[in-house]
Structure 1
Amino acid sequence: MNRHFISTRLVGLIGAIAFGAGVLTSTPAHADTCAANTACSTTTTFDVTAGVLDITVPDTADLANDAAPGENAYGQLGAITVNDERASATPTWTASVDMTGTTGFTTAGGDGAGEVIPETSVYYFSGDATATTGDGTFTAGQPGTFTEPPTTPQGQTLAASRTAYGHTGGTGNNSATWNPYITAALALSNVSGQYTGTIAHTVV
């Protein structure tokens, strides 16, 4: 058998395969082929991404209005913001606030007489939102306008968990920001000093 002939056939076959593969890989994909004056359609897709539900609060706050024993110390806590980026068909959430599990506001360690303002004497007033985005219904836990100075405490005590703000209805993303007032009703027995306590917000 002629080895030159076999070798030539193999080279030709390999070349044909390589050429065919090149033709296959270089052919562009077409959505459609249409005659003149006929609309050609391309199916197009993209994703709407989803994020998380979170709440942002100030690290620290100093109530602007101090008070003497028997009076009301009060002030705004700072901006609280719930941001819902879940892109949900049912973007319902509730933000809660409490001081439960604490001893309220204390000074000098809170061990001596008159050094504690219990959570039953601390009041939270969310007021109306300062800003919202998205659709649906936003509801304040303690709606309205805070009256300064408070002759009596306004809002709800933080002796239990309270609703600060909530959202129902709508779809997609939304957000709400409010700046709540805190009022501490001082007893006549409270001593002087800087009082410190922890107020916690959560959103679910």
Structure 2
Amino acid sequence: MTDARGGTPTSDWIARVSSTSFVGPSDTIAASAAVYTPGAGTLLVGNGTLTSGTPGSLGAQRVAMTYTGGTGNSDATWDPTLLIAVPLSVGLGTYTGTVTHSVA
């Protein structure tokens, strides 16, 4: 996540994550079956505090990462983990969904 706004006095931001359902050839796996763990963040540029969100279901939008208290530009990265609990009742095949990160 790169923030080049160069804010004064602060350039805080919150990155959020959400997901669609995962659609297959004969069934759909709900987004709530996906568990997102943001992992530790690495601050590449900036002088503020980077804080990971808590792991949890993507049944609702959740916080992935926050940056607070910094001045000027910031650049951060993190390596999340996504686990999807596939119900035994769904048919075989390829399932496709979209996981989206947004920042404000």
2:22 matched to 1:105? yes
Give the TM-score of the pair, scaled to structure 1.
0.48
Comparing both structures, which one devotes a greater share of its residues to helix? 1
1:37-74 CA deviation, whole Å, 9 max, x = no partner? xxxxxxxxxxxxxxxxxxxxxxxxxxxxxxxxxxxxxx
User: In structure 2, what is the equivalent of residue 187 of structure 1?
Assistant: 87
2:14 matched to 1:94? yes
C-alpha contact 1:83 1:174 (8 A) present in aligned 2: yes
Paired-residue identity, %? 40
Give the TM-score of the pair, scaled to structure 2.
0.91
**Larger C-alpha radius of gyration, 1 or 2?**
1
In the alignment, structure 1 segments of 5+ residues that lack a partner are 1-81, 143-154
Shift of 1:190: 1.6
**Code of the aligned partner of 1:126:** P
- Map 1:170-185 to 2 at 5 A: 170-185=70-85
Aligned length: 103
Comparing both structures, which one devotes a greater share of its residues to strand? 2
1:160-182 CA deviation, whole Å, 9 max, x = no partner? 11001110002111111011111
User: In structure 2, what is the equivalent of residue 125 of structure 1?
Assistant: 37
Residue 32 of structure 2: SS of its match in structure 1? helix
Q: Which has the higher contact order (CA 8 A, sep 6+)?
A: 2
C-alpha contact 1:130 1:179 (8 A) present in aligned 2: no
Runs of 4+ in 1 over 3 A off after TM superposition: none
In the alignment, structure 2 segments of 5+ residues that lack a partner are none
> In 2, Cα distance between the equivalents of 1:194 and 1:91?
41
> In 2, Cα distance between the equivalents of 1:170 and 1:177?
16
Match of 1:163 among 48, 54, 63: 63
Shift of 1:130: 4.2
